[in-house]
Amino acid sequence: MSRRQFDRQHVVDTALAILDDGGPDALSVRAVATALDVRPNAIYTYVEDRAALDGAVAERVLAMADLSLLTGPPSQWRRRVERFALSVREVLLLHPGVVSLLMSAPLNGPVALSIGEGLLDAFADAGLSPRDGARASYAVMVHTLGSLALDVAETDGRAPLDPEEDRVAARAAAFAQAAASAMPRTAAAAPIMATWVGETQFRWGLARLLDGIVRP
Amino acid sequence: MSRRQFDRQHVVDTALAILDDGGPDALSVRAVATALDVRPNAIYTYVEDRAALDGAVAERVLAMADLSLLTGPPSQWRRRVERFALSVREVLLLHPGVVSLLMSAPLNGPVALSIGEGLLDAFADAGLSPRDGARASYAVMVHTLGSLALDVAETDGRAPLDPEEDRVAARAAAFAQAAASAMPRTAAAAPIMATWVGETQFRWGLARLLDGIVRP
DNA sequence: ACCTGAACACCGTTCAAGT
DNA sequence: ACCTGAACACCGTTCAAGT
């Protein structure tokens, strides 16, 4: 015996499982230790501190997005960007608790860097200058992660999330309840505002952004 | 005596001061109590729980944005949206610790509702249908808050933030250090990527989004 | 109505010690 | 190298009690 039963990867996986199961509040160094049947301080053998654990979990999930979607024929640059952004969205909605981790630390890991390179490549294929390509890449990241953050903020962060249909319906009900007599446009647009957390809104915003980016 | 020395407003102001001073980690119910020279549980007289305190702080700061910038001549709808978005950005960069609070709870307070109504109004003036106006309004919020979240994620969340110039310079230095031989586009675009956290990038992304929204 | 005292069930982290 | 025991300085929250 005395052979260790797990490694850093296992620690991170355990943390992700706890996050999925109980949401952001449930994740703690001590919870990971308990799940691995070890004392809390043993975790520090594998991870420098809590922030490093959070970062590793975020990196792990971000790596689940299909980066290969960003490569392809230059003429298809737009489809490549859109499909990749949807892949990021899909993966993060499967692990909603990760979104807050992703937004609360610098996005400078190897996976984030690779994503940046892939986006720069796609926008170069679109004929953009390096400067505009860099601005466009970040704008796409902002849209993607910003949308996810606002969407997930309305949930408890546990996986699996309620189906989009249910989340939209809950929003619609909330709007209906709030008699917005002083806000006529809100009252009129409430049914659409209920769908703000959905994939259609995500696609629409991204499409408008890309329209504006390549507009002559 | 026995006259209370403070009210809910004072509690929220104190929380904001602690947040500005020490960043997100410094804010706690107990820290607020200490600052008000009272036992921790006394705070619960004014605030239901920690989440309500966070929400009140977020609402307070969001209310500092100049909503009147959204009103004006219909022909100036675009300028109205841009100036308001910049106002939100300015206020939140003065209180960077608030950004994470804003992104981690539903945006359904009265201030957020009023902002939504103002945006719907501006996009109606732009000639958009109610449906597109609602989609456009959310896209603008996503850009604004998403940008802020990613920007602030690279700081310690304490006010005042380092000047933009310094934050950009720090990013540039970090990029220079990372020899990105395997990522040619990143290496080439590093000087622009360093400015991702700046106002120019914010304006550029918003402009492209609005271009795409009103494009014929 | 508003506050205190006391307690409970948690946190992250450090350090010395054991194997 | 990896883990434990013990401790420290924190959390949010509840409840009974006092004024």
Residues A54-99: pLDDT tens digits? Answer: 999 999 999 999 999 999 999 999 999 999 999 999 999 999 999 9
Q: How many helices (H) and strands (E) does chain A have?
A: 10, 0
Q: What is the DSSP string of A139-181?
A: HHHHHHHHHHHHHHTTS--PSSPPPHHHHHHHHHHHHHHS--T
Closest chain B C-alpha to A70 CA, distance in angstroms: 14
Query: pLDDT at position A207, please?
Result: 98
Query: pLDDT at position A176, please?
Result: 81
Q: Is the dihedral of CA B149, B152, B157, B160 positive or negative?
A: negative
Residue A3 has pLDDT above 80, yes or no: no
Residue A142: which of B124, B134, B146 has the nearest Cβ?
Answer: B146
pLDDT tens per residue across span B117-160: 999 999 999 999 999 999 999 999 999 999 999 999 999 999 99
Chain B partners within 8 Å of A100 (Cβ):
100, 103-104
Pick out chain B residues at pLDDT < 50.
1-2
| Measured CA B181 to C1' C11 distance, in angstroms | 42
Residue A2 has pLDDT above 60, yes or no: no
The residue-averaged pLDDT of A203-212 equals: 98
Separation between Cα atoms, residue B200 and residue B110, nearest integer Å = 30
Separation between Cα atoms, residue B117 and residue B113, nearest integer Å = 6
Q: Answer yes or no: do A142 and B150 touch at CB < 8 A.
A: yes
pLDDT tens per residue across span A168-189: 999 999 888 776 678 999 999 9
Separation between Cα atoms, residue A82 and residue A59, nearest integer Å = 21
Contacts of A112 (CB under 8 A, 6+ apart): A59, A62
CA distances from residue B97 to A90, B85, B91, B102 in whole angstroms, order as listed: 28, 18, 11, 9
Separation between Cα atoms, residue B125 and residue A50, nearest integer Å = 49
CB B107 within 8 A of CB A171: no
pLDDT tens per residue across span A93-138: 999 999 999 999 999 999 999 999 999 999 999 999 999 999 999 9
User: How many whole angstroms from its chain centre is CA A114?
Assistant: 16
Query: pLDDT at position B176, please?
Result: 81
Chain B partners within 8 Å of A135 (Cβ):
192, 201, 204-205, 208
Query: pLDDT at position B2, please?
Result: 47
* Coil, helix or strand at residue B215: coil
Query: pLDDT at position B177, please?
Result: 77
Closest chain B C-alpha to A45 CA, distance in angstroms: 24
